[in-house]
Structure 1
Amino acid sequence: MAWNDFHAAGISVSAWARVRGFNPRLVYEILRGERKCLRGASALIAKELGMK
């Protein structure tokens, strides 16, 4: 899932993160490419987003 997917689905990144129990700030950092997503919560989020 990318920025356009969130917009097309009509949901916010923050709402998506909260429903799945993730920190919204961390999800934004991953979507902007500021995190490597090698392990931990970052890796789980990237997997949920289909980036991994």
Structure 2
Amino acid sequence: MPNGYPSEQARAAARERLSKLGLSAKEWAERNELSPSTVYAVLNGQQKCLRGEAHRAAVLLGIKEGVVPDAPEQYGRRKTDIGTVIPK
């Protein structure tokens, strides 16, 4: 993500994961307390995902590596973590 935008390959992989879960982007966004429009923008490559909600969405979608301090337990947060590190 040298220019800040997630690669098409990473975005396609995230869409595939959502499909395997049987979730629409809107359903996934609501489950993760994110704006559906932000999730759609991340999945379509319209957000740089550098900070804020777009960063959070990209990390939770597995599009980029990063830290999300308030991630749900399903993302592997440990009690000793300052934040949740989601590998790419």
For the criterion TM > 0.5, the same-fold answer is yes
- Within the candidate set 14, 17, 21, 1:5 is matched to 17
Question: Please, what is the CA RMSD of the aligned residues?
Answer: 1.1
1:5 CA displacement: 1.5
SS of corresponding position for 1:2: helix
Residue identity over aligned pairs, in percent, reads: 37
The aligned length equals 52
Give the TM-score, by structure 2 length.
0.55
Unaligned segments of structure 2, at least 5 residues: 1-12, 65-88
Unaligned segments of structure 1, at least 5 residues: none
Question: Which structure ranks higher in relative contact order (CA pairs < 8 Å, sequence separation ≥ 6)?
Answer: 1
Which runs of at least 4 in structure 1 moved beyond 6 Å after TM superposition? none
In our comparison, the structure showing a higher alpha carbon Rg is 2
